[in-house]
Amino acid sequence: MTTQTFTMDPDWLVFDPHPSTPEFVLPFGAVDAHCHVFGPSEQFPFAPERKYTPCDAGKEKLFELRDHLGFTKNVVVQATCHGSDNAAMLDALRASRGRARGVATIEPDISDAELQEMHDAGVRGVRFNYVKRLVDPEPDAYYHRIIDKIAPLDWHVVVYFEASDLAQRWDFFTSLNTTVVVDHMGRPDVSQPVNGPEFGLFLRLMREHENFWSKVTCPERLSVTGPPYDDVVPFARLVTEEFPDRVLWGTDWPHPNLKSHMPDDGKLVDFIPRIATTNDLQQRLLVTNPNRLYWKEN
Ligand code: 0GY
């Protein structure tokens, strides 16, 4: 059997191999609730339909980072470069010995037995990705079929979309009666005012629909001004303070598709106390909320 080889995109930025030790000491039980594994591609080939080819970033590196930064657990989110083949993510969950949960990408014709196998490995949600540079979004009926499939397992839905697409997706999103977690605060344009109409629509979603949660993640992705990401603070702080019981935080390691710079993951952890400014907010963001959503049976 020949092994397929993959070459990462020529402009791919590789994760920082030596992140600093954060000054902020994470509370005991803290969860990195948004991170990925890529491959290794020799063992877990990337999907033919992928829109980018990353570097390898396997589970061992992820667990090393977890321990270095001081997290206790991970939530591994299926990345689009692996399509709906969740093998690398499931392998990471199984190897974590209960210290990782997963969010999968599935197709509507998946069998109940496959779903149960994923649940047993630690999957607790599915991700619907609407970012066109990453995937070709499907019609609503496709996602409704997935919702029907996952209902018996009590999984939640993670949605990833660009701020400019929220109005168009509004009716579908608000028709969902599962918990719905929005990635990266719906990707606001942080050069717009925090109290402007674009972020206002996202805040309205959170205010009017208590089943919606938000990841207050990715300052490195949203920032226009760059490190230390001052321009993202007002957005992430507002969401963390107004919805303290419905926010999650994660590193987004290994930081797919960044073009301007690769963040120092230690400095990303130091961003947390700028948006969750009290011990109580930090505890909810990093420990209580992710454990409630992902380890509720424990
Ligand atoms: C993220 C962001 C991105 C990529 C993916 O699954 C993915 O490929 O989510 C991105 O390129 O913005 O959350 O990891």
What are the C-alpha distances in Å from 239 to residues 97, 129, 204, 222, 276? 32, 22, 11, 15, 10
Residue 133 has pLDDT above 90, yes or no: yes
- Residue 190 placed within a domain: yes
What are the C-alpha distances in Å from 187 to residues 1, 175, 182, 213, 221? 43, 21, 9, 14, 9
pLDDT of residue 253: 98
* Closest atom of ligand 1 to CA, residue 36: 14
Domain enclosing residue 163, as ranges: 31-294
Active site annotation includes 252: yes
pLDDT digit string (tens) for 26-61?
A: 999 999 999 999 999 999 999 999 999 999 999 999
Q: Which amino acid is at 215?
A: K
- Residue 90 placed within a domain: yes
- Residue 17 placed within a domain: no
Answer for the pair 108, 151: CB distance below 8 angstroms, yes or no: no
Check pocket membership of 47 for ligand 1, CB cut-off 6 A: no
pLDDT of residue 298: 63
- Residue 157 placed within a domain: yes
pLDDT of residue 1: 56
* Closest atom of ligand 1 to CA, residue 81: 8
pLDDT of residue 4: 85
Q: What value does the mean pLDDT take over residues 249-260?
A: 98
Give the chain's mean pLDDT: 97
- Residue 3 placed within a domain: no
pLDDT digit string (tens) for 194-245?
A: 999 999 999 999 999 999 999 999 999 999 999 999 999 999 999 999 999 9
- Residue 256 placed within a domain: yes
Q: How many domains does the chain have?
A: 1
Answer for the pair 72, 115: CB distance below 8 angstroms, yes or no: no
Cα–Cα dist 150/127, whole Å:
12
- Residue 15 placed within a domain: no
Q: What is the CATH number of the domain that holds 46?
A: 3.20.20.140
- Residue 213 placed within a domain: yes
Predicted confidence band at 3 (pLDDT cuts at 50, 70, 90)? confident
Q: Which residue's alpha carbon is at the smallest distance from atom 3 of ligand 1?
A: 256
Predicted confidence band at 122 (pLDDT cuts at 50, 70, 90)? very high
Q: Which amino acid is at 233?
A: V
- Minimal CA–CA distance to 103: which of 30, 35, 176, 173? 35
